[in-house]
Structure formats: structure tokens, C-alpha cells
Amino acid sequence: MPTPARVVFLPEADEPLAVEHVNLPDPSDFQVVVRQYASGICHSQLHQMHNPRNGDQILGHEATGEVIKVGAQVTNVAVGDMVFVTWVPRNAETATREVDPIVVERPNGRTATTRNVFTWADTTIADEKYIVKVPQDTRRDVTSIIGCAVLTGSGAVYNTAAVRAGQSVAVFGVGGVGLSAVVAASVVGADPIIAVDLDEEKLEFAKRFGATVGVNASSGDAIEQIHALTQSGLVTSFGEAVSGVDFAFDCIGREITMNQILQAVRPGVLGAETGGTAVLVGVPQSGVSFSETDMRGMLINEKKYIGSIGGSCRPDRDFPMFLAWAEDGALDLDAMVTERFTIGQINEATTALEHGEIFGRAIMDFND
């Protein structure tokens, strides 16, 4: 029997998001139907909204909920289980298995699709590879951002870069993903943890999550400020002063920040140690070109430039760790979730996000 749901649709035409009542199909063999409590509102959905598209789409990729239906081949969850919905396959065993496409029919007869999951809906249907069972007493609202913001930011620091105690970190952009990166850097004992942003209030806010110093890129050269904060007194074999961080994370994805993270990391010392690592975390919003000076420096100083998608996470493995951080107080989800919207306010929410009015992370609360 079909399941009624309220779903946010992104029309193919340049029109506002639409909230509509629909019927979701019964799950196929590996699918799960989840009644949702809350969903994160991620900045990456703005890219989908502004990019050309063929056909209507359904959006969202992080949520908490309860399983209400399962397909015949589903073994990892059962009806009544508390779960997270995420866009990253939950483990290596399921990662390469092909999934049935998700297609939702709108009242006007048009159909909408998604690449893997959709969570801007009070009820969703997804393949079980994107459904992670969590303890029944897990918070139902703020934990919804673990499925993307925390996974992406904290995972980039903890998994992709494998930052260790005493190593220095700079995080460019301290929205929900950047704050999560700051949290992980604090958990592992990085020092200093430099938050970089254009807004002084956001920089002060980042200190609540473990940032030790803020660099305001609107009031001076961010790279010069970072190197001034990280002078070591050493000199490379090529006569260059050793300053800069061990790891720089771009949680924005703009051309300027994609360049800056390479410039922010320290040079290596030939015969002793390699240079720092620039980590691209944010979805690129443009192309990028590097100067000859930057490329020569990358070679001579053995700097590294790498990407991190989904924080290199394995949700079955990592979500219990993130929940433990939240329980211990290291990951303050209540502070990180700074705005709440109902499903009917989705256009208001995306406008606020686009205008930079969301300090941390916004969520959509379905208990309205």
C-alpha cells in the first residue's frame, strides 16, 4: 500500500520550491521507508537549485527518522528502528551494489528523481545502503546533521587528513561543515586551530567548538595572518622560512579559498619532512588556476593537495563515534543547529542560507 508523504520538489523550470502531498510506492527488495523527524538543510542543495537540470528533482541528504516499511531483502534495519538517512554508503560491502532508482510522482503527473536519497520530506524512501541504525534514545532533531555536515567536516579532519595531536590546522569557512572540522581538530588535539572567515561573529562562534584563534579575511590578507601566527624559526634547504599550518581545509569551494589553502600550508624541509596538506572539502563553485609560483612551491616544498568527499567516512563505523562525541559534549549539536524551519518554510530557509544568514546549520523539523 502506498505511503502518504509531504515532499519538497525542485521544478525543472526556474520556479520556487514546491511542497506537495504525494504517495510513495511500496519498497522494493532493498528499499526502506522512513518517517522522518528532522532533516539538515545543506548548502550543497543551493548548487542543485542554481545549476541546469533535466527534469524535476527531490532534495536533501541528511536526516533522522523511524523505519516504517522494509523490502524483502533488507537485513540491517527493521520496522520501528531509529535511523539516520545519509548520502554515503554505510559500509564497503554495500558501496558498489547498484540501487533501484528513486522516482516520485507529483500531483501534476510529472515525476521527480534523486541520485541517491531525499530528506526534504516528512517521509522518504531509500535503499538500505543509505540507512544507518542508531540507538533508540538518539536525539531526533539536531542529530540529523550528522548525516552530512558532521560526516563531511569532521571526517575530513579525522579520516581523510588523519590529523594528529599537536599538528596545526586552518579551516576556511566556519558554517556547519567548517564547524564540524573544527570539532574534530579539537577532539584529536590539534594546535593551533585557526578559523578563517569574513565575519567576526562567526569567528567568535567557532571558538565555542574548539577554534583557538580567528582570522578575519575581510580585514587583511588571510595567508599573511596565518603565516604570522605559525612562525617556527626554521629555514628550509632553499632558504625559505618555515611557517604555515600542517593542514588547511577549504569548506567553501570558491576559487579564492581553493588557492588559499595551498598557500596556507607550510613548506617541507628537504631530507627531513614533507610539506603541509591542503584539503578541498567544499563543493567547487568554479574552476581554479594556480600560479607558476604556487606550483613550483608545491614541487620544491613537497606540499600536497587532496580532496575529501563525505569525509572519507564509513557511516556504520563512524556514526557511533560522532554520537559519542555529542554525548561527551565535544560535539555540541544544540549550539551548531542555529535555525529551525518547518517544511512549509523551505523557500524562506534556502533564501536565508543563500544570504549567509545561517551561522551554523539549519534543520527542517517535521513535528509541525
Name the residue type at position 158.
Y
pLDDT single digits (tens) 227-239: 999 998 888 878 8
The pLDDT, as a whole number, for residue 327 is: 96
Cross-strand bridge partners of residue 280: 250, 307
pLDDT single digits (tens) 5-39: 999 999 998 889 999 999 999 999 999 999 999 99
The pLDDT, as a whole number, for residue 40 is: 97
> Averaged over 82-104, what is the pLDDT?
95
> Averaged over 75-104, what is the pLDDT?
95
What mean pLDDT value characterizes the chain?
Answer: 95
CATH architecture of the domain covering 150-310: 3-Layer(aba) Sandwich (3.40)
CA gyration radius for the chain? 21
Name the residue with cell 512549509.
344
Name the residue type at position 106.
R
Q: Which residues neighbour 36 within 8 Å (Cβ) at sequence distance 6 or greater?
A: 63, 64, 65, 85, 119, 121, 122, 123, 124, 366
pLDDT single digits (tens) 249-261: 999 999 999 999 9
Residue 305 has pLDDT above 70, yes or no: yes
Edge-first strand order for the sheet with 304-307 is 213-216, 193-197, 169-172, 247-250, 277-280, 304-307
In three-state form (DSSP H/G/I as H, E/B as E, the rest C), the secondary structure along 39-88 is: EEECCHHHHHHHCCCCCEEECCCEEEEEEEEECCCCCCCCCCCEEEEECC
The pLDDT, as a whole number, for residue 69 is: 98
The pLDDT, as a whole number, for residue 51 is: 85
The pLDDT, as a whole number, for residue 1 is: 83
The pLDDT, as a whole number, for residue 243 is: 94
pLDDT single digits (tens) 113-172: 998 999 999 999 999 999 999 999 999 999 999 999 999 999 999 999 999 999 999 999
Contact 182, 193 (CB under 8 A): yes
Name the residue with cell 632558504.
239
Residue 302 has pLDDT above 80, yes or no: yes
Domain ranges of the chain: 3-147+332-365, 150-310
Residue 368 has pLDDT above 70, yes or no: no
Fold of 3-147+332-365: Quinone Oxidoreductase; Chain A, domain 1 (3.90.180)
Whole-number Å distance between alpha carbons of 171 and 219: 17
Directed axis angle between helix 255-264 and helix 222-229, to 10°?
20
Report the range out of 39-53, 234-248, 335-349 with the highest average pLDDT. Answer: 335-349
CB atoms within 10 A of CB 133: 18
Whole-number Å distance between alpha carbons of 25 and 6: 14
> Averaged over 100-116, what is the pLDDT?
93
Cis omega (within 30 of 0) for bond into 192: yes
CB atoms within 10 A of CB 159: 19
